[in-house]
Each structure stands twice: as structure tokens, then as C-alpha cells.
Amino acid sequence: MRSATIRTRELLPCLAAVVMLAGCAGMTSTQKNVLGGGVIGTAGGAAIGAMAGNAGMGAAIGAGAGVLGGLLYDAHEKSNQRAYQQGYRDAQGQ
């Protein structure tokens, strides 16, 4: 009986990861970047917060910083794409 419980505990995180990744299939690049930043920020903030004595507060601060970072990254990528497209159009015109 103990073996079945351990296997279930090992499989649940894997199943959760598969479900979460499948849920991202229809997202826009902005949504993916913001979500990714939020997840990374939450994990990093929780780890730092745990060392400082308050993992919950660290996770909350990290999530906010991560979402902001994801938005900034997305804006930067879109700016690069626009510049590339403009350069391509300019080169076609010559």
C-alpha cells in the first residue's frame, strides 16, 4: 500500500506540469511572457523569502516583479520584431 501512495505522489507533479503546459497552447506571446515571468518571479521570491524568514511575502513580491519583467521583455521583443520588419521593408524598396 505504501508503494502505491509514493507512486501517486510522484506522478501528481508530473501530471500537473503536463496539464499546465497544455493550457498554454492557445496563449498569445504576451500572455506566455507574462505568465513565465510571474512563475519564475514567484519561485525565486519564495526561495529568497524562505531564506529571509517569510516565503509568502517573498513569493508575492517575486510574482509582481516577474510579471513586470515579463511585460518588459515582451515589449522589447515586439520592438525588435517591428524594427526587423521595417528594415526588411526598406530593403525591399531599394
Residue 52 CB: number of other CB atoms within 10 A?
Answer: 10
Number of domains in the chain: 1
Residue 1 placed within a domain: no
User: pTM (2 decimals)?
Assistant: 0.69
Q: Tell me the per-residue pLDDT of 44-55, one tens digit each, with 9 for 90 and over.
A: 999 999 898 888
Q: What is the pLDDT of residues 37-93, one digit of tens each?
A: 999 999 999 999 989 888 899 999 999 999 999 999 999 999 999 999 999 999 998
Q: Has residue 20 been placed in a domain?
A: no
- The residues, any chain, with a CB within 8 Å of residue 94's CB and separated by 6 or more, are none
Residue 34: domain span: 26-93
- Does residue 71 fall inside a structural domain? yes
- Asked whether residue 62 is domain-assigned, the answer is yes
Q: Is residue 49 part of a domain?
A: yes
Sign of CA dihedral 43, 48, 51, 53: negative
Residue 19 falls within a domain, yes or no? no
